[in-house]
Chain A
């Protein structure tokens, strides 16, 4: 089975984020592959291994540093990669522009399925899978936790997470599948995998190369961090009754939630 996996490079969840205007300070950030995209890469690799045929192509939109996430995918076992790297998208690509760029890059590829994370953990938009499917004219199945494909590769039967339960969906291929946690346990790249990844072909494309002209439809105006966590307070008092009284006073007068 031939698959395309769309991945995004995002800041590590533990890294220090500093907001500057409508964006973040990118210096000093540790970048990683979006964790949900790891499920997508893993699933594509497992399908290829199960079928003992086909290839896995990574497609990613991002600046120069994005190559590190692409190499991570290649080290896990993906075969080829397309890196859409164009200054026009830097800091400006919204989900729409991203989906359009990815669609343009994917159009030239052979695929039975497209895997990607259900959302990127940086902007949390979760829009690209659906938009990409629409632009490619194929179905989109989101929140996939189990994926099985028919022997003739004509359809896939997938289990997706729904509120409070699961649903099993059958869909003709090709289609876009967005991965939810639980789909699989992503592998740790082996050392030979890492070595081989350095030599695997990465096709670097600009928007012009791909004929992608769609710009963003939205503009981020401002970003803010959640308020810092306040220090706790131990309520003093002679006995339980006094403490309760003091608590009530604080809730009324200081916190003003009662």
Chain B
């Protein structure tokens, strides 16, 4: 820069500006303006504004998105700069962090240079880019530029060599990496040429500080033999290449997944601020006056559903963790989002008239590819176990699986189109309030002879033990209900059951998409709970736990709900249950986290605390555990559907348990218990593996073994067999 005079600094626009009028500087600004214009042109060209019209025309209901704006803002800042979610996956987390921080650092550096050269110097004639500050800045930019290159190389290694099967492959994916690499490399080369020309001479005042640009200095060795003229000529050419590349990158953002640089932070700000991933609320009165239910049409989405598709950069983390995808089923959560986006693009084009005005197209008039069938296959819609892995993995806070529930709702409630085997489940729920279709009058039979207090007889109790359908009707899980009743009694807990007054929680109906049946079941339970002034509820099943604790609130049912593992953990800590009986043949234990307990409700520690308190066996974790654990395959109503596509989820999970070296798999969910017990049988692993519910082990260790019960179900069951 002309006349800064500072010795420890550098001339901005060295070798670029000619004498007199700074033509090149003006040209640079012209280019910047052109780049920005091209960026917006690119947005228009790639359909962004049309899509935004579709987004703003959407009519579906949504949750709060801008409340607590300040908290949301800070959450976003921490998430973006700290990579809270992105770092869940170490490799891609780290390389994204490197590229991201490389960019941020270089952007900061560029902004400082701009302020110095184009604002502060021309106006106030102050030169602050000197001395230690300059050296620090130089080092800062150099190091972060290098870090960004390392990140890009790691990303390239993944795209070219590691090639994980869940990674999407579009032309732009590789182009972007080469593009960024080229910008970074030319940047360093330009720097190196300048250093070679101006700082290698021992007489240069900068020479002693030359290593404050370590990468630039190192690269400069390549040019040590070049003449000053050659250095200058190469520098000019590469400087403009670098500048045009960087500005081209800005334009490219509009055309590519790079738009996530803008859209994803916005989506993080707009993230659902609810304890559960929100599934669209259907107010009960809707069933009286609405004409259509669920989603099969663009406008039925909420604006945020459609906006989600803008924030998706196809990273594939949701695919990587999806149990359906990992067992070769035709479901990739990323593609669900991308296909909704494609559908939106198609329909939005239809919706534009010649003057560019956007009209909502009635269904009958739209002849393009449909959402269900063309965009998203029915097999995809039914493959989901609602395990929530996708939602939890998504760094952009997109809601993937709830969008499938919207589609299920349409198929079930409008078209009666669902896997045939689900018919009996619905009828069982409607007629006998359980998906097993077993007579409702037998709901309390599991408790016969156990002297379990009935709320109708006891009048009131501190805790309602809500057993749920599995504990009441499924032979395997009746044993768990029996264990729990015995433990509660032994611990002196003031509890009662509803017996035949209990009804199905409705979770399976809700997740299969039959909100109508779900609400009927939920309202019946809420009414019963309220009639007995129930406040505290213990559930045996994590699905009932989630329904009663969270979902019932939408229907006016607000209760204090506990999963039994929370209660047992507390009772053990309080010394109300003593686990002194050794349990034989337990071996190494591994705990399988239930999705609805873990991911949905963050209950990870209590079940493990209980297992540690057993003093029999030792605890080992499977390959995937806690938040990243693999599903059993039964959630989302999949418990009731045939699994005829791909391989079986329960078997994959059973194999993971086997690989952990454990002899005993413990569960705290009746569905998981069933699925893993079946997995052991199907894989003929009975000699190596056994499955138990935690409650059964606690009962054994407390000397309350279910087998010692004279009038329990085991004997009757054996007799019936």
Contact = CB atoms under 8 A, between A and B. Distances in A.
Interface in A146-202: 185, 187-192, 194-195
Interface string B294-318: 0000000000000000000000000
A255 interface: no
Given A191-B287, A191-B413, A194-B516, A30 B720 contact: no
A226 interface: no
Given A188-B416, A191-B414, A232-B719, A14 B287 contact: no
A188 B426 contact: yes
Contacts of A125: none
B710 interface: no
B440 interface: yes
Contacts of B438: 14
B278 interface: no
Interface string A4-34: 0000000010111000000000001010100
Nearest to B718: A232
B441 A28 contact: yes
Contacts of A14: 431-432, 437-440
A229 B432 contact: no
Contacts of A225: none
Interface in B388-445: 412-416, 418, 420, 423, 426, 431-432, 437-442
Interface in B259-306: 287-288, 291-293
B482 to A, nearest CB: 19
Given A14-B437, A15-B441, A16-B439, A192 B414 contact: yes
A187 B422 CA distance: 12
Contacts of A12: 431-432, 439
Contacts of A195: 287-288
A15 B426 CA distance: 16
Contacts of B291: 192
A219 B48 CA distance: 77
B416 A187 contact: yes
Contacts of A192: 291-292, 414
A30 B431 contact: yes
A220 interface: no
Contact of A15 (B288, B412, B415, B439): B439
Nearest to A16: B441
Given A191-B414, A232-B719, A15 B440 contact: yes
B174 to A, nearest CB: 47
Contacts of A88: none
Interface in B437-465: 437-442
Contacts of A191: 287, 293, 413-414, 516
Contacts of A189: 416
Contacts of B715: 231
A194 B414 CA distance: 10
Nearest to B289: A195
A77 to B, nearest CB: 10
A190 B413 CA distance: 5
Given A14-B431, A15-B441, A188 B287 contact: no
A14 B292 CA distance: 33
**Size band of the B side of the interface?**
20 to 34
Nearest to A18: B441
B416 A30 contact: no
- B287, B438, B440: which has the most chain A beta carbons within 10 Å? B440
A232 B720 CA distance: 7
A15 B431 CA distance: 9
Nearest to B441: A16
Contacts of B412: 188
A231 B293 CA distance: 50
Contacts of B288: 195
Contacts of B442: 16
A190 B516 CA distance: 10
B414 A229 contact: no
Interface in B701-721: 715-716, 718-721
Nearest to A72: B430
A15 B292 CA distance: 34
Contacts of B719: 231-232
Contacts of B287: 191, 195
B517 to A, nearest CB: 10
A232 B516 CA distance: 43
B439 A190 contact: no
Contacts of A15: 431-432, 439-441
Contacts of B426: 188
A150 B439 CA distance: 43
B440 A30 contact: yes
B720 A229 contact: yes
- A15, A28, A32, A191: which has the most chain B beta carbons within 10 Å? A191
Given A15-B439, A229-B720, A190 B416 contact: yes
A12 B426 CA distance: 14
Given A15-B440, A194-B516, A30 B413 contact: no
A250 to B, nearest CB: 16
A96 to B, nearest CB: 30
A107 B444 CA distance: 49
A15 B416 CA distance: 26
Contacts of B413: 190-191
A30 B432 contact: yes
A142 B623 CA distance: 60
A183 B416 CA distance: 19
B277 to A, nearest CB: 24
Nearest to A187: B416
A187 B413 CA distance: 12
- A16, A30, A188, A231: which has the most chain B beta carbons within 10 Å? A188
Interface string A216-235: 00000000000001011000
A15 B433 CA distance: 11
Contacts of B721: 232
Contacts of A28: 441
B642 to A, nearest CB: 15
B506 to A, nearest CB: 16
B523 to A, nearest CB: 16
A221 to B, nearest CB: 27
Contact of B431 (A32, A190, A194): A32
A204 B307 CA distance: 53
A188 B721 CA distance: 33
A231 to B, nearest CB: 4
Contacts of B516: 191, 194
Nearest to B413: A191
Contacts of B414: 190-192
A229 B716 CA distance: 11
Contacts of B440: 14-15, 30
Nearest to B432: A14
A28 B501 CA distance: 12
A139 to B, nearest CB: 33
A190 B418 CA distance: 11
Contacts of B431: 12, 14-15, 30, 32
A102 to B, nearest CB: 25
A242 B418 CA distance: 55
Interface of A: 12, 14-16, 28, 30, 32, 185, 187-192, 194-195, 229, 231-232
9 contacts: A14-B440, A15-B439, A15-B440, A15-B441, A16-B442, A187-B416, A188-B426, A231-B719, A232-B718
Given A12-B431, A195-B287, A232-B720, 15 more contacts: A14-B431, A14-B432, A14-B437, A14-B439, A14-B440, A30-B440, A32-B431, A187-B416, A188-B426, A189-B416, A190-B416, A191-B413, A191-B414, A194-B516, A232-B718
Nearest 10 CB-CB pairings of A with B: A14-B439, A16-B441, A191-B413, A231-B719, A188-B416, A232-B719, A12-B431, A190-B416, A30-B431, A187-B416
